[in-house]
Amino acid sequence: MIDAAELIDNDFLRQFEIKIDDHLAKIEYSLQERKIFLTKLVIPDDINSENFSNEFLTAVFEQIEDRNLSIVPTSPEIAKFVRKNRKYKRMLPVGVRI
């Protein structure tokens, strides 16, 4: 459902975003040094499903990994995703546990 070409890193608004039909799903972030703090996940109710959330977060995490950044999930939904997908725990900075 989600193609990497559809995912946009809007650095002006500091958010990853994807447009599905007329709805915008986004993950807000703050970038500090080599760490990206994922602060808020917003998925409109019309497209909200666990499958969509997982695909969206996976695409975002892959893009972050390609940029060699560490992730600090401050949003409960994003932290839950990292706990469920242990392969992304390696992206956490030293000393950060969830």
Is the pLDDT at 43 greater than 70? The verdict is yes
Q: Edge to edge, what strands does the sheet with 8-10 contain?
A: 8-10, 15-20, 23-32, 35-42, 70-73
DSSP code, position 87: G
CB 30 within 8 A of CB 36: yes
CATH of 8-91, one of 3.40.50.150, 3.20.19.10, 3.30.2010.30, 3.40.630.30: 3.40.630.30
List pLDDT tens digits, range 12-39: 999 999 988 888 999 999 999 899 999 9
pLDDT for 97: 76
Q: Which two tokens stand for residue 70?
A: 């560490």
Q: Which two tokens stand for residue 9?
A: 């890193």
Domain boundaries of the chain, sorted by first residue: 8-91
Is residue 90 helix, strand or coil?
helix
Q: How many other C-beta atoms lie within 10 A of the C-beta of residue 29?
A: 26
CB 52 within 8 A of CB 19: no
The predicted model gives 36-64 an average pLDDT of: 91
The predicted model gives 45-68 an average pLDDT of: 90
pTM summary value: 0.88
